Amino acid sequence: MSYDLFLGCVIPARLPFLETSSRKVFEKLGIKLNDVDGFSCCPDPTGIELIDQKTWLALGARNLSLCHNNGGVVSFCSGCVETLKGVNYAINKDYHAKEEVNTVLNKVGKSYDGKVEVKHFAEILYEYIDKVKAYIEKPLDGFKVAVHYGCHYLRPSEIINWDDPFEPKTVDEIVRALGAESIDYEMKMECCGNPVDKSDKDLSLVMIDQKLKAIQKAGANCVVVVCPACYQQYEFNQRELNKKNESNYEIPIFYLSELIALSFGYKPEELGFKFHRIRPNKLFENLDFIF
Amino acid sequence: MSIINFEFRNEVLKHNASLSYCYQCSTCSGGCPVALITNGKYNPRKIIEEAILGLKDRLVEKYDPNLWLCSTCQKCVELCPQKVELTEIFTLIKNLCFESGKVPEAFIAQGRSVLENGVAIPYSKAILTRREKLGLPVIKTAQIDEIKTILKETEFENHIPKEAE
């Protein structure tokens, strides 16, 4: 199987090491990712869409018009997936919106019919879960993982059309397949607070503080995410919270692809773990997870 | 004193008719993570109520409640027994806020970046070096002229306040 790859902005231009592990995992599983030149911002469903929805729709449709792979398009980012699925939903539901978008796209010699299938990378990994299991060289024994699904991976379910919007299971199942334990915690389904950062930093910190507190209380030793916005919210704010409050957060944050890559036997230096702000070295030592 | 603005109400209804389904049960606010931590100061039910009543000045000027605090988590949309598309309605109202120009700075910065670069975060030299070291391919983003043509067509620039001289 092969897919066109939509990278978006945050992962390739700020957190490229997350791209490294994701590409490695797909390669190992024999799923071909086709790089496409000429994409713009997806655009951000928590940013550009709030400035002007018409622009969001037009740029999103333009991006989709560049995808020609039979398998459709895949992204490593929940925000990009929400936008691209949302654009499909909007223009397939509303004929006038489709006409209007195509009038704009015609100005640059493009058009879009609303038919490109969009998938989140975790969706595909879940489909390949048996193959994932077959490639495990180092089971993640002792990893007590707090799974954070994030919002846009799931909702609105009518648009995302994937896992259960309130009781999801896909990422938990992948985590368990790797030999790790998925730790249940209070507030598991709450938002990380990242989008609120644009308008109220303090409020967004309260939201992530609540989650980290619950994760610590439940005894998890790491967190797994499937969205770069959630990743940044969890990773970048722990030290800030420790300075502000009396917390002592030092919880490593993994991308789902990183956990899978670790179980496949890739080494921290191959995965760019040195770019993590909270390095997982201590966790590896504690668990005797030796490379 | 609030002023009822029928035009505003009709604009929202025309954009998303689900506004009229709301019977103010407050399930949205009950499930809202931001309502929870602001003790109800941020209140999605109230935003919908004010939209139905056409209280544009409260929503777009006074930010009472401040709809920019919505985390777009979409729980309200999922929970609503009447299938009111709350985030869609909030999106339209936020779009209108850009017409008046009083909006959080971070959105303007992102808008400007897309206007100038076609992407929210352009590749810096340091990141390009890092990508090379990580063995990642060079990705060409959109030709900016093409993006500018589209943004001109959608009049995107009119929504972005000019930079102060």
The domains of chain A are located at: 2-121, 137-286
Tens digit of each residue's pLDDT (9 = 90 or more) over A184-201? 999 999 999 999 999 999
Structural domains in chain B? 6-100 (1.10.1060.10), 105-159 (no CATH)
Interface test mutation site (partner B, options A27, A41, A104, max chain B beta carbons within 10 A): A41
Interface confidence (ipTM) of the complex: 0.96
| Cα of B7 to nearest chain A Cα, Å | 19
Task: Write out residues 38-67 of B within 8 Å (CB-CB) of A.
Answer: 38, 66
CB pairs under 8 A between A and B: 171
- Class of the CATH-defined domain A137-286: alpha beta
Give the whole-angstrom CA distance, residue B56 versus residue B94. 11
A107: contact with B, CB 8 A cutoff: yes
Cis, peptide link before residue A228, omega less than 30° from 0: no
Interface test mutation site (partner A, options B134, B144, B159, max chain A beta carbons within 10 A): B134
Residue A43: Cβ within 10 Å count: 29
Tens digit of each residue's pLDDT (9 = 90 or more) over A28-79? 999 999 999 999 999 999 999 999 999 999 999 999 999 999 899 999 999 9
Question: Taking Cα atoms as reference points, which of A7, A1, A10 lies closest to residue A235?
Answer: A10
Token match 């507190």: residue?
Answer: A213
What's the mean per-residue pLDDT of chain A?
Answer: 97
pLDDT band at B109 (very low <50, low <70, confident <90, very high): very high
| Cα of B2 to nearest chain A Cα, Å | 25
| Same CATH fold assignment for domains A2-121 and A137-286 | no
Task: Write out residues 109-128 of A within 8 Å (CB-CB) of B.
Answer: none
Are B92 and A210 within 8 A, CB to CB?
no
Give the whole-angstrom CA distance, residue A101 versus residue A62. 9
Close Cβ partners of A170 (under 8 Å, ≥ 6 residues apart): A122, A123, A126, A162, A163
pLDDT at B102 over 90: no
Number of Cα atoms under 13 Å in the Cβ half of residue B155: 5
pTM over 0.90: yes
Second CATH level (architecture) for the domain A2-121: Up-down Bundle (1.20)
What's the mean per-residue pLDDT of chain B?
Answer: 95
